[in-house]
Amino acid sequence: MHKFMHIKSLKMLVLALATSLAVSGCGTLGDKGDETKTWSAAKLYAEAKDEMASGSYEKAIQYFEKLESRFPFGTYAQQAQMDTAYAYYKQGDQAQALAAVERFIKLHPNHANLDYMYYLRGLITFNDQLGLLNFLANQDITERDPKASRDSFDAFKQLVTQFPDSKYTPDALSRMKYLVNALAQYDVHVARYYHRRGAYLAAANRAQSAITEYPDAPAIEEAMFILVKSYDSLGMTDLRDDANRVFLKNFPQSAYLTGNAKNRSAWWKFW
């Protein structure tokens, strides 16, 4: 009995040793197969940038991550973190791109290029709404959920507020103006929908909200028109007349007065 147990234990020991050697061998082969094993930080970064330039974002990200892992301190690691966020952005991976941006901002709150990271954060959500700035697409972006527009606006606003002299601020301001127009048009789209469905009070409230929140947006012309129509449908003649006076004063030549507004091109296609 004892002899049997001894043989069994010996077999188990041999099996464990063989498994350990196999795993160790695989690891050794894996290390030998990694061409980047002996690369310096400068070499890793240069190769990653080359991959980025050729559009191989996934490969570039792998190189950037190896660089940060092997050389966690210094300017190359910080630059790799920024470029990783950009690579994810170009790859269309919004969640990973935003995570990389937030991580960099948290790790380096006083970095010289922090303004760029705020700008990139705005771009990520901006392009989620627009599909890589494809303004000529047939789908009206103002009919989508406006959350991405609001997130993007907030990111650009933070850049403009904290870094008014940044080289990215002029473009951020232009995009903020566009986003305000998009948000106003979204409210008008909802108000128009309510009015078509006969929900005149809801239409009036949504149109009034757009007028109050975005008084300088191009969409306010239609918002005023919907407000007048909604008050008229509700039989609120005093409010209708007041709204109509304001409408005529601000838009005396409005196409909505002649019914030709539908033939006009959407403003959002020409930003």
Q: Where in the chain are the domains?
A: 41-112, 132-271
- For residue 182, name the pLDDT band (cuts at 50, 70, 90): confident
The pLDDT value recorded for residue 79 is: 94
- For residue 166, name the pLDDT band (cuts at 50, 70, 90): very high
**pTM of the predicted protein model:** 0.69
Domain 41-112 has CATH 3.10.450.50: no
Separation between Cα atoms, residue 227 and residue 195, nearest integer Å? 9
Q: What angle do CA 134, 217, 141 make, to 5 degrees?
A: 25
The pLDDT value recorded for residue 223 is: 95
Separation between Cα atoms, residue 81 and residue 111, nearest integer Å? 12
**One fold for 41-112 and 132-271:** yes
Percent of the chain at pLDDT > 70 equals: 76
Mean pLDDT of 222-227: 95
Encoded tokens for 244? 């109509």
- Fold adopted by 132-271: 1.25.40
Beta carbons within 8 Å of 101's beta carbon, 6+ residues apart? 85, 117, 120, 121, 124
The pLDDT value recorded for residue 266 is: 46
Beta carbons within 8 Å of 220's beta carbon, 6+ residues apart? 184, 210, 211, 214, 250
Separation between Cα atoms, residue 113 and residue 3, nearest integer Å? 72
| In the predicted structure, residue 134 carries a pLDDT above the cut 60 | no
pLDDT digits (tens, 9 = 90+) for 1-38: 544 445 455 455 445 444 444 444 444 434 556 788 88
